[in-house]
Amino acid sequence: MTTIQADIRQVRPSEYRAVEELTRDAFWNLYVPGCDEHYLAHTMREHPDYIPDLELVALVDGRLVGSIICTSSRLVDPAGISVDTLTFGPLCVHPDYQRRGIGTALITRTRSLAEERAYPAIVILGDPHNYCKSGFRNCVDLNVSDPQGRHPLGLLVLPLRPDFFKAPKAYRFFYSDAYNLDPAKAAEFDAGFPPREKAYSHTQELFSMTCRAHLD
């Protein structure tokens, strides 16, 4: 598939619902039967860790086809000193426009904005297949772990200041509690969208394996 050029800019409040519809279309039945990511997009905008000017959309011929939403997260060193990092997600591209470079373009723009703001790293939880191309590495290679000291396969770090990870320090990563959802509220929110069948997909099995895999 050929790469497609998308216009990338900050989301407008009038587009919030379109982002939620896009997010539902992109995630539906992908990782679990149904999905909660559209509720996440909706609810995280109220959270103090949400960064409004780092919610971006991608448009092709005026159609909103991609979205990336960012929150503030933290790396904490053994002395308890905390440094702010950037985390993105949900990130999605409409199924009709995937594998044409739009996801990469959204990550690239987010990366430059993060560099402008002097973040030392972008740290995410996601499927490595989607992110190694953009320079993300597994946390174990940068001496970063989850709060329990483990190294999940999907805990990925994009270093933005190479010197930051050179010191022999072990960091623990804490993501925003904006990602902790109430499933009942998510179901209630989903009821406001057109009915859609929840179903099994083999991609859910891959996701389950990825979530349980660690590099320790």
Ligand X SMILES: CC(C)(COP(=O)(O)OP(=O)(O)OC[C@H]1O[C@@H](n2cnc3c(N)ncnc32)[C@H](O)[C@@H]1OP(=O)(O)O)[C@@H](O)C(=O)NCCC(=O)NCCS
Three-state SS at 119: coil
The CB-nearest residue to ligand X is 103
Closer of 35 and 160 to ligand X (Cβ): 35
3-state class of 9 per DSSP? Answer: strand
What are the residues binding ligand X (CB under 6 A)?
26-27, 30, 91-93, 98-104, 126-127, 129-130, 133
Minimum gap (Å) between residue 129 Cβ and ligand X:
4
Work out the angle at residue 202's Cα, subtended by the Cα atoms of residues 42 and 103, and round it to the nearest 5 degrees.
Answer: 45
* Three-class HEC string of 140-195: HHHCEECCCCCCECCEEEEECCHHHHCCCCCEEEECCHHHCCCHHHHHHHHCCCCC
Least Cβ distance, residue 91 to ligand X (angstroms): 5
- Closest to ligand X by CB, 102 vs 139, is 102
CB of residue 85 vs ligand X: minimum separation in angstroms? 17
How many helical (H) and strand (E) elements, i.e. helices and strands, does the chain have? 6, 9
Q: How far is the CB of 130 from ligand X (least distance, A)?
A: 4
The residue among 102 and 186 lying less far from ligand X, judged by its C-beta, is 102
By C-beta, is 104 or 143 nearer to ligand X? Answer: 104
